[in-house]
Amino acid sequence: MKVGLGLSSKIKIVSRQDFDGTLEIEVNGKKSVVSQKFADNLFVV
């Protein structure tokens, strides 16, 4: 699955599931659901 992330991409967190930490994110107008592990590996400046 490609989320569309790249350098200087803007990420919006749409929602988070409390039971497993799954996040719904929006990148360039496209919504995707990602795991907590995926999110843990993002580096935000």
Q: Is residue 1 part of a domain?
A: no
Instruction: Give the predicted TM-score (pTM) of the model.
Output: 0.77
Q: Is residue 4 part of a domain?
A: no
Q: Is residue 2 part of a domain?
A: no
Please name the residues in contact with 27: beta carbons below 8 A apart, sequence gap of 6 or more.
3, 4, 5, 9, 10, 11, 12
Cα 15 to Cα 26: distance, rounded to the nearest angstrom = 10
Q: Is residue 45 part of a domain?
A: no
Looking at the 3D structure of the chain, how many domains does it have?
A: 1
HEC-encoded secondary structure of 1-45 = CCCCCCCCCCEEEEEECCCCCCEEEEECCEEEEECHHHHHCCCCC
Domain span at residue 15 reads 11-40
Q: Is residue 28 part of a domain?
A: yes
One pLDDT digit (tens) per residue for the chain, 45 residues: 678 888 888 889 999 999 999 999 999 899 999 999 998 988 877
Q: Is residue 5 part of a domain?
A: no
